[in-house]
Amino acid sequence: MFRLPLPLPRPRRTLSDPAAALAGAVLALACAAPLAADTADLGDPDLIEQVTLRDGARLHTQVHLPPGDGPFPAILVRTPYGVPTQISGPVALDEEAEEDPAALLATWAPVFDRGYAVVFQNTRGRGLSGGIDKLFTTEREDGADTAAWLTAQPWSDGTFVLTGDSADGFAGLLTAASRPEGLRGGFFQASCGNLMREGVVRRTGGLQMESLAPWIYVQVGNSGPENLEMLAGLGVDPEAVEEEAGALFGTLLGDDPAAAAAAFAATPAAKIGMLPQLQPVWTDFVTEAGQARLAPYFDTAEALEVPILHVGLWQDIFLDCTIDVFARAEARVGNQHLVVLDGTHYDIDDPATWPDGFAQALGDWLDALDGTQPMPPKVRYVVENAAAPEVLTAAAWPPATVGERVLYLQPGGGLEAAPQAGALGRIVADPADPTPTLGGRNLFIEAGAADQAPILGRDDVLLFKGEPLAEDLVIAGQVTLDLAIRAEAQDADVVGKLVAISPDGTARLIVESLLRARYRDGREAPKAVVPGAEVPLTLALGHTAHRLAAGERLAVILQGANAPRWDSTAGLDADPALSVPGGPVAFEVLAPAAGAALRLSVLDAEGRG
């Protein structure tokens, strides 16, 4: 038996350079200390338990009790990472502090001060927990079993609240979806309650490969003992994992975005390196057959019942998922709340990210659940790109707006108020030279509102720009784009971007998305394109609240790829996750008779609806 060494701590959101963190984690696959058999380096919990699940797997669980005799309500954090883990936001921790259990526990002071116990648990197959890691596909059941154990403990008052950031939130939301007895609420940040619909797998788009593939490699080093035995039984060599991961990440994080794009676009997702061995459910997770089977399991919005505060960020990889789960659960049960902040995934731990301070927000939410203060406004959000901080509230998302502004893509490259039918241009997406990713809602590569000007000279990119704005324009809501394509193959990817072009030529990315023509009716119902036929498409580019300044121009960019953020279609009547790209995929973009319409919901200049 071998033991893959533990990597350095996960690329935590407190790190200013997530790329450096990822590189460090890969390096640590070779040189870090082996997985410890004891728990001396995990802090000084009041209790260390092994919670036995219904199938016999045992999960490592730490309990930290507040002062007093109890019984206590609890906060439960179920994590694939190390325990204890930091609560985001109250203080900024450097990398050394992140390895200090006392410093990590100190960040939970707002919870202890309110008399809550804090319970950390490694999820199945991770850290010191037993069982085989199955990429969150057992978290409903495992969470329900953990909840039953927790509420039966002598120190427990029979109630608990779930919380977690990012992947911790995946496990937490799936636990909440099991509707366990004693659950009073949840607080989830930069997370996703529907990974197979609006998360790393998109219902009408592709796979977010810059996030999916690296995350699996990095997590190998945090495997639990039984998971390591499973990998050894499959013949997985830790040195080979290190070598392959180093090559993959070296390309992904290198200085040549075209090389990174081509490396990810040239290989079907289900066949990338050792991924099918490292994660047994990898193929199910990325293929069409797996979508049909797993999507209902991951859709927590249809099962949430308790009040939950969903926290997202405008440039976070999971923002659309956060809003999707909030909106659908809110429409069903009416007790959900939403906060959207400015920043990317890793900014959630920056104390400056929260307008009123994270500690205060967490404390207010716990007090609201306890009934000692009123519930907060239904929706609170920060407006991107404002000269001064703008924090708005609303009764729903999208908020009430002044109205819809519709602009139409023109055959000559304009973006105007009047529709005009006709051919808008031809795109040839070459898997050997795909359009490279520049910013956006990424996890490991550069994220945020990056300048798109470097790709505007490519002949596989189309640009449609409007006239300079006479006054500020505030967009708030979902941005959509209606158009049509005529493809020369049986499938095509259409990437749409909304950008703001400044007088100096900078093209700031606002929102973007990919729609795979094969999935125009949903990934659960793939349908080939008839070559030469006109196919109408509606791209949901994403949610935003963004201020454009007078003098800027609204613009739309169209592409046939965006790699390595997204995987690429093979252009065939076949599952792209299993198919080798057959060569360039060409299609003509058309404005149908009603026009190719960009639809924006707008506020007034003061940010009011």
Summarize pLDDT for 137-184 with one digit per residue, the tens: 999 999 999 999 999 999 999 999 999 999 999 999 999 999 999 999
Q: What is the pLDDT of residue 3?
A: 27
Q: What is the pLDDT of residue 220?
A: 86
User: Residue 333 — pLDDT band, cuts 50, 70, 90?
Assistant: very high
Is residue 279 pLDDT above 80, yes or no?
A: yes
Pairing of strands 156-165, 72-79: parallel
Q: Which two tokens stand for residue 189?
A: 């940040």
Share of the chain above pLDDT 90, in %: 66
How many CB atoms are located within 10 Å of the residue 17 CB? 11
Lowest mean pLDDT among 264-278, 451-465, 528-542, 587-601: 264-278
First to last CA, the chain: 63
Coil, strand, or helix at residue 339? strand
Instruction: For residue 42, give the amino acid letter.
Output: L
Q: What is the pLDDT of residue 42?
A: 37
Lowest mean pLDDT among 200-214, 350-364, 428-442, 557-571: 350-364
What's the whole-number mean pLDDT along residues 471-493? Answer: 96
Q: What is the pLDDT of residue 94?
A: 62
Is residue 275 pLDDT above 50, yes or no?
A: yes
Angstrom distance (rounded) from CA 31 to CA 11: 17
Is residue 430 pLDDT above 70, yes or no?
A: yes
What's the whole-number mean pLDDT along residues 319-329? Answer: 97
Is residue 21 pLDDT above 60, yes or no?
A: no
Q: Which two tokens stand for residue 568?
A: 């690429």
**Taking the model in full, what pTM does it have?**
0.91
Q: What is the pLDDT of residues 220-243, one digit of tens each?
A: 888 999 999 999 998 888 888 888
User: Residue 38 — pLDDT band, cuts 50, 70, 90?
Assistant: very low
Alpha helices in 37-112 (DSSP H): 95-98, 101-106, 109-112
pLDDT greater at residue 404 or residue 28: 404
Q: What is the pLDDT of residue 92?
A: 54
Is residue 482 pLDDT above 90, yes or no?
A: yes
The answer to whether 291 and 575 are in contact (CB under 8 A) is no
What's the whole-number mean pLDDT along residues 340-350? Answer: 89
Residues 6 or more apart from 255 whose CB is under 8 A from it? Answer: none
Coil, strand, or helix at residue 210? helix
| Average pLDDT for the chain | 87
Can you give the three-state secondary structure of 520-538, one letter per residue? CCCCCCCCCCCCCCEEEEE
Angstrom distance (rounded) from CA 317 to CA 403: 28
Q: What is the pLDDT of residue 99?
A: 65
The answer to whether 453 and 505 are in contact (CB under 8 A) is yes
Angstrom distance (rounded) from CA 228 to CA 349: 31
Q: What is the pLDDT of residues 544-596, one digit of tens each?
A: 999 999 999 999 999 999 998 998 898 999 999 999 777 899 999 999 999 99
pLDDT greater at residue 426 or residue 357: 426
238 prior amide bond cis, ω within 30: no
Angstrom distance (rounded) from CA 502 to CA 554: 9
Is residue 24 pLDDT above 50, yes or no?
A: no
The answer to whether 495 and 513 are in contact (CB under 8 A) is yes
The residue among 436, 438, 413 whose CA lies nearest residue 424 is: 413
Q: What is the pLDDT of residues 77-86, one digit of tens each?
A: 999 998 877 6
Lowest mean pLDDT among 102-111, 367-376, 455-464, 531-540: 102-111
